[in-house]
Structure 1
């Protein structure tokens, strides 16, 4: 049985939806904190069990009978995130899974300027020593994050952010489809995958140009000094630790950590990945 964690989250839900087009429902199980939110999957024949990375003892039941377990990374950073990931990996191995998969990041590195990428690197090290084969899905940077950074510019026509560098912004929907394809073809990748990215890397200058084309309105890009960015975040009530983490995205981009472009995602999808203009159009149609 293929077990997907976090299946009521945005990425996990998409992965399960796509996986159900590739394998029978009775081969799919989900581990979720609140099974009531996964009732729609249960109605389709998916096994739904409660499981939380913060309660490792309960994961034994959630992962029972697993052939593969996909650990969807948590929405947290630092030691707590790595601790939760390790708990899930250990539980998957204890449950007898033949392979553990993990949603990592293209920039995973112990020396990254972005804390989340250091966390992914630490989790990948736990995978290397877990005792069973593993696959680390090195996902491109979510394009939805770029849209959030774009934020007020869509209304006011001006992006004010720290200096950046090219980033392979990649649609989460494409990454979900790729994860499902890898789960359905067990062993397709051993260890870290190549970067799973869109077909181009963009700076926020590029994104401003694309936003102007999509909206039909002028959009300009201004660069804010790092200290001014932190001050502005504080003025909007963002905790200092979170603001520093966000700044880490730009510091990492400036050194090229997210600039790689690779054809592997297109190969998994059987088509070109969604481009930023398509992502922006989808966002605007939903607002």
Structure 2
């Protein structure tokens, strides 16, 4: 009996623990993530690489895209004032939508944070309700509101004003995008507020700090990461939006996404459409990364 116990002593404990260890403890981490990477490569990287290759093709109206390594499509998009106007309009709308979502969504998230149940759950459902409706349906709804005979112009008509041309304008696109993108700003800010200790805010008020000072010096630095992440999502989604600019902007107010659609399905110039899409992706990434780095540096400096 003693010899049996001694044989199962410290020298064999490693073997016993190794036998009892879960199977994934012996699998390298890169091997466990390999299926996800393969799926990502098949669904994202491969189509993106094919699109990049297509940008170097030459387009012939008679025969279509022709394989040729040339930069004519990039030169056409970057030097033509028509496409420069489209990109300027695209990012102008995205920036304006982001600023309005920050101005509306951050206070809305703070009000939601200060609420108590059941009101908080009810208003959270109201904020998330637009996400349950198709973007196309919401765009048609705004089209009915903003057209010449819509409810908005009928309201102005009660005061002897209008009718105003609201549909097929930049105003209509921005208003509809703010309605669609607002939940993507409210939720990250509200999540950041969940980490805020209410006692810190109460301590500042007890030390004779005004509510505005408490909001500016205590609350705002705490929700800065939420505002940063929310604004990045809103900007990226607004710059690449297609349904709302296509339905509320019409054929005159083109953005980059609708220009890509026209080149692919209208003129069938796939190389030029792929070039616009890749340049939109690159410009979007450069702006978002620069914005993230600048705000992250300022946020880190403000916190010491």
Q: Does TM, normalized by the shorter one, top 0.5?
A: no
Bigger fraction of residues in helix: 2
Bigger relative contact order, structure 1 or 2, given CA contacts below 8 A and separation 6+? 2
Please indicate the TM-score interval, normalised by the length of the shorter structure.
Answer: under 0.3
Looking at CA atoms only, which structure, 1 or 2, has the larger radius of gyration? 2
Bigger fraction of residues in strand: 1
Could you tell me the TM-score, scaled by structure 1's length? 0.23
